[in-house]
């Protein structure tokens, strides 16, 4: 009992001071400046009619500063990042990245702050479907024999055909499969940035005769 009552006032004062320091530490920790970084996707807005646009930048990082309790509640989905292409003519341009969100005032930096955007005229044309590869099988028929590729005219100018690959195909009897044609250039190298319609074609495959 003496251990409890001895210096009782001093012990109570020490306890109160400890509780006060604990509350003060937690209050200061929650209200003092804190920084965090979020990565959000970048979109292109306002692309004019008859035009297509693309950028090599797919995401941007935003640095936020503010109370820790607030920032820890924020998610990448709370923000949106975009570049405004309204009124822009065909060509390659450097455009500012805009970030919007409920806590936009907490954003201290955007990396990158600008994005290189390529704007081109939209066009389409018909190209033949060809097959390649297939050490043990070959295509006996492809339907349809042509597909429509669409996209920027600079990209389409490089496309000579749409190729279906039989690489790895192995069969002991004729079969019919659905394959996705890939746009290729004159050297049969894949060309990205173009849409293909229809997205798949019907390919009849037969085994190669063994010598």
Would you state the pLDDT for residue 81? 97
Fold of 122-207: RNA Polymerase Alpha Subunit; Chain A, domain 2 (2.170.120)
The residues of the chain that CATH labels 2.170.120.30 are 31-112
The neighbour count for residue 68, using CB atoms within 10 Å, is 15
Among 68, 59, 60, residue whose Cα is nearest residue 35: 68
Within the chain, which residues score under 70 in pLDDT?
1-33, 134-136, 168-171, 209-211
pLDDT at site 50: 95
- Residue 40, CA distances (Å) to 35, 66, 78, 79 in order: 16, 19, 9, 7
The pLDDT value recorded for residue 197 is 97
Q: What is the pLDDT of residue 23?
A: 54
Q: What is the pLDDT of residue 10?
A: 59
> In the prediction, which pLDDT does 134 show?
67
Cα-to-chain-centroid distance, residue 113: 17
Query: Do residues 58 and 41 make contact, with C-beta atoms less than 8 angstroms apart?
Result: yes
Q: Where does CATH 2.170.120.40 sit in the chain? A: 122-207
In sequence order, what DSSP letters do the residues of 101-165 get, joined into one string?
-TTGGGEEEEESSEEEEEEEEEEEEEEEEEEE--SSEEEEEEESSEEEEEEEHHHHTT--EEEEE
CB atoms within 10 A of CB 200: 13
Would you state the CATH architecture of domain 31-112? Beta Complex (2.170)
């Amino acid at each position: 009992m003496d251990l409890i009552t001895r210096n009782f006032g001093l012990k109570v004062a020490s306890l109160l001071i400890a509780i006060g320091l604990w509350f003060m530490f937690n209050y200061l920790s929650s209200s003092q400046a804190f920084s965090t970084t979020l990565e959000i996707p970048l979109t292109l807005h306002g692309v004019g009619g008859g035009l297509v646009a693309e950028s090599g930048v797919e995401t941007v990082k935003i640095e936020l500063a503010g109370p820790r309790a607030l920032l820890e509640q924020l998610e990448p989905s709370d923000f949106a990042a975009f570049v405004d292409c309204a009124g822009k003519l065909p060509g390659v341009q450097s455009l500012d990245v805009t970030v919007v969100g409920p806590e936009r005032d907490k954003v201290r930096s955007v990396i990158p702050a600008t994005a290189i955007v390529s704007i081109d005229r939209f066009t389409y044309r018909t190209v033949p479907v060809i097959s390649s590869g297939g050490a043990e099988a070959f295509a006996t028929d492809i339907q349809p024999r042509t597909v429509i590729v669409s996209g920027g005219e600079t990209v389409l100018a490089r496309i000579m055909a749409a190729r279906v690959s039989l690489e790895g195909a192995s069969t002991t009897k004729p079969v019919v499969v659905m394959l996705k044609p890939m746009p290729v250039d004159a050297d049969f190298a894949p060309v990205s940035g173009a849409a293909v319609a229809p997205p798949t074609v019907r390919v009849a495959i037969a085994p190669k005769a063994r010598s």
